[in-house]
Amino acid sequence: MQTFWYKNALVYSLDVETFMDSDGDGIGDFRGLTNCLDYLAGLGINCLWLLPFYPSPNRDNGYDVMDYYDVDPRLGTLGDFVEFIHQSRERGIRVLVDLVVNHTSIEHPWFQSARQGKTSKYHDYYVWSDNPEPNPALVAFPTVEESIWEYDEQAGASYLHHFYKEQPDLNIANPKVQEEILRIMGFWLELGVSGFRIDAAPFLIEEVGMENAHLFDLKQFLERMREFLANRSADAILLAEANVSPDQIPVYFDEGNRMQMLFNFLVNQNLFLALARQDAATLKEGLKILPSIPHNAQWLNFVRHHDELTLDRLSDEQQQEIFAAFAPEESMQIFGRGIRRRLPPMMQNDRRRIEMTYSLAFTLPGTPLVRYGDEIGMGDDLSLEGRESVRTVMQWSNAANGGFSKASPDALTRPVISKGEYGYQQVNVAFEQRDPTSFLNWMEHLIITRRQCPEFGSGKWRILETDKSAVFAHACEVDKTTVIALHNLSDQSCIVNLPEIPHQHLMEIFSDNFSLSRQQQKYDPLDENSYAIAINAYGYRWFRMSSMD
C-alpha cells in the first residue's frame, strides 16, 4: 500500500538565523538548531521547513540568494548542515528547504555577469527589455516598489523583478536556467533533504517579458521538476507557495504529476474572515470553492507564517472587517492588503480564542503548519520594519536575550521581545515546560492528538450542517473510521444540534476542557437520546465516531 507521509506530517517552520545561536555571535546557526532537535521531536513535529539559509546580502530575509550551493557563513557550514540532517533523521524528522529560483540576488555572480550585456553567457539567464511596461498591478510589494522593471546602466536595458529591485527574475524560458534549477535541487537532495518549498511559484511560470516563453508551456517545468525529484528521491515532495484563484489551482497539481502540496491561502483568508465575523459561513464557502485535488495531493493549512497575513483574495470591505477586528491601527497593516502581526496580539491574547483557532486549523482537511514561537504564544514587535515584526528571535528561557544567544543584546540579529505581556521573561520555552497549564503543553497535546487522527489529513471530508451559524462542524473519514470536529467561532456558548449524528456513537478525544489553564464549565456527558451538543464560547470538541452499522 502506498502511503503519503506528507498527508499526516506536522510541519514546523523556522529561520535558522533567529532560532538558536550556539557560538554567541548574536546570529542563530545550524549547530544551535541541531541542539534543539530533541525539543522539536518532543513537541511531536516530524517535518521541518527551513527558510532560506544560503549566502545572501539579506535584502529580503535571505530570499535573495547569491549562492545556491552553500550555507550563509554566518549560520554555519555545509558540514554543519549535513550533521543537522543526520541528527534530524535520527529523530524521525524530515527537512524541507526553500527553493528560491524565481529570482536571484543582484549580487549573484550570474547577474553580475549578465549586466555586462549580450556577450555574457549569463545575459539570457535574466529577462531584459528596452521598452518595459511598469505593470504596477504585477508588483508583489506594492507601496515599496512601483514597477516590475528596473533600468540597469551597465546593461543599458531594464531587467524584470516581480519582488524587490534587488531580486532580478530568472528567465525560466531559458533551458539553461531550467538545468541550473534541477542541478540545485539535485545538490540538496543528495545532502538528504525531503523536498522543497517552491518560493513564489506563480511568478516562476509567469511569461511576462520572456521572449522565448511562447516556445513551450512554462507550466510544464513544474512537471519536469517533479520528474527530476522522483528520479532522485522516492518520497521527496514539492510544496508550492501559490496564492492563486481556485481556477488556477489545477495548474499546480495537474494530474498529480506536479506539486504534491500547496499552501492553502484561500482557506486561510476565509478563515480569518470567519473569525472576524464570528460566523462559520465564509469558512464553509472557502472550503467549498476549493477544487477537488488528486489522490496524492495535499493542502498545507496555516494560521500565520513568516510573511504578512495577506488578504488579497477578499474584497475591500471584507479586508476592512478583518482589519477592524484584528489590526485596527495602520502600523499593524502592510502592503495595503495584509497584517504584520502574530496571532496572540491579534486576539488580545485571549487564550480560548487562540486555542480554538489552532484547533480549527489543525482539523481542516490537510496538513498543519506550526511556525516557531507559535507553540509558546510569542508576540510581535511593531517597532521593527515591515514583515520583520513577526520575525523576532525565539524565546527559550528568561536568561538574557531570552536564552537565544549569549551575545550582547545590541549584537542580536534581531531584537528579542523583552517588554509587556509577550516579553521573554514570561513567554519562553523553559517556563512553559514547567507549567502544566501552559500554552506549550496545550500545543503539545494538540499535536499528539492530531497525529493520532490521520482522518483529518487524508480522509474524505464533509461539512456538517448545524443550527448555529457560529459553529463550524465537519467530519473526516478514512476506511470507515470517522472523526468529527466542532468549533465555536463566537464568544457566546451555545447548544448546537448535529442532526445527522446519533450520540451513542461519539467519543470525545479532545476539547477545550482539556485545557488545564482555566476553571471552566465541564461538558456534561453526551445524552444518548439527543443530537444536541454543548459548546463553550470559543470552544472546540473533537469526537471519534464508532460505526453506525
The crossing angle, in degrees rounded to 10, of helices 351-363 and 439-451 is 20
Is 444 one of the catalytic residues?
Answer: no
The gap from C-alpha 286 to its chain's centroid, in whole angstroms, comes to: 18
Tell me whether residue 102 or residue 178 sits nearer to ligand GLC (CB atom). 102
**How far apart are alpha carbons 149 and 140 in whole angstroms?**
12
* Beta carbon of residue 62, minimum distance to ligand GLC (angstroms, whole number): 9
**How far apart are alpha carbons 407 and 449 in whole angstroms?**
38
Tell me whether residue 84 or residue 302 sits nearer to ligand GLC (CB atom). 302
In this structure, is the dihedral angle defined by the CA atoms of residues 400, 403, 408 and 412, taken in order, positive or negative?
Answer: negative
Q: Which residues pair with 304 in a beta bridge?
A: none
Is 385 one of the catalytic residues?
Answer: no
Residue 112: what residue type? Answer: Q
**How far apart are alpha carbons 452 and 511 in whole angstroms?**
15
List C-alpha distances in Å: 335 to 52, 145, 436: 22, 10, 40
Give the 3-state secondary structure of residue 229.
Answer: helix
Cα angle 377-454-43, degrees, rounded to a multiple of 5: 35
Q: Is 51 left (phi over 0), alpha (psi -120 to 50) or beta?
A: beta
Residue among 4, 19, 63, 299 that touches ligand GLC (CB under 6 A): 63
Tell me whether residue 63 or residue 81 sits nearer to ligand GLC (CB atom). 63
Tell me whether residue 97 or residue 475 sits nearer to ligand GLC (CB atom). 97
* Number of shown-chain residues binding ligand GLC (CB under 6 A): 9
The gap from C-alpha 289 to its chain's centroid, in whole angstroms, comes to: 21
**How far apart are alpha carbons 348 and 377 in whole angstroms?**
11
User: Where in 396-455 is the site for ligand GLC (CB under 6 A)?
Assistant: none
Tell me whether residue 81 or residue 163 sits nearer to ligand GLC (CB atom). 163
The gap from C-alpha 145 to its chain's centroid, in whole angstroms, comes to: 24
Q: Which residues of 399-437 are buried (b: 16+ CB within 10 A; e: fewer)?
A: eebbbbbebeeeebbbbbbbeeebbbbebbbebbbeeee
User: Where in 194-213 is the site for ligand GLC (CB under 6 A)?
Assistant: 199-200
**How far apart are alpha carbons 338 and 387 in whole angstroms?**
10
The crossing angle, in degrees rounded to 10, of helices 316-326 and 265-277 is 60
* Beta carbon of residue 11, minimum distance to ligand GLC (angstroms, whole number): 15
Which backbone phi and psi does 170 adopt, to 5 degrees? -80, 155
Tell me whether residue 199 or residue 206 sits nearer to ligand GLC (CB atom). 199
User: Where in 508-537 is the site for ligand GLC (CB under 6 A)?
Assistant: none
Give the 3-state secondary structure of residue 54.
Answer: coil
User: Contact letters (x/-) for ligand GLC, 228-267, by CB under 6 A?
Assistant: -------------x--------------------------
Nearest Cα to 303, choosing from 279, 270, 327? 270
Q: From the candidates 17, 152, 206, 241, give the one annotated as an active-site residue.
A: 241
User: Contact letters (x/-) for ligand GLC, 69-108, by CB under 6 A?
Assistant: -------------------------------x--------
Interaction between residue 485 and ligand GLC (CB under 6 A):
no
Which residue's C-beta sits nearest to ligand GLC?
Answer: 63
Q: Is 200 left (phi over 0), alpha (psi -120 to 50) or beta?
A: left
* Beta carbon of residue 61, minimum distance to ligand GLC (angstroms, whole number): 6
* Beta carbon of residue 264, minimum distance to ligand GLC (angstroms, whole number): 15
User: Where in 267-306 is the site for ligand GLC (CB under 6 A)?
Assistant: 306
Tell me whether residue 63 or residue 442 sits nearer to ligand GLC (CB atom). 63
Whether 175 and 183 have beta carbons less than 8 Å apart is answered as no
Residue among 206, 307, 374, 380 that touches ligand GLC (CB under 6 A): 307
Residue among 15, 60, 308, 375 that touches ligand GLC (CB under 6 A): 60
Tell me whether residue 19 or residue 163 sits nearer to ligand GLC (CB atom). 163
* Beta carbon of residue 60, minimum distance to ligand GLC (angstroms, whole number): 5
Nearest Cα to 243, choosing from 213, 221, 268, 218? 268
Whether 343 and 303 have beta carbons less than 8 Å apart is answered as yes
* Beta carbon of residue 495, minimum distance to ligand GLC (angstroms, whole number): 42
User: Contact letters (x/-) for ligand GLC, 130-169, by CB under 6 A?
Assistant: ---------------------------------x------
* Beta carbon of residue 177, minimum distance to ligand GLC (angstroms, whole number): 16
**How far apart are alpha carbons 298 and 300 in whole angstroms?**
7
Q: From the candidates 199, 321, 381, 444, give the one annotated as an active-site residue.
A: 199
Burial class (CB in 10 A: 0-12, 13-18, 19+), 476: buried
* Beta carbon of residue 58, minimum distance to ligand GLC (angstroms, whole number): 11
Tell me whether residue 310 or residue 319 sits nearer to ligand GLC (CB atom). 310
* Beta carbon of residue 263, minimum distance to ligand GLC (angstroms, whole number): 9
* Beta carbon of residue 405, minimum distance to ligand GLC (angstroms, whole number): 23
Residues labelled catalytic = 199, 241
> Which spans of this chain sit near ligand GLC (rule: CB under 6 A)?
60, 63, 100, 163, 199-200, 241, 306-307
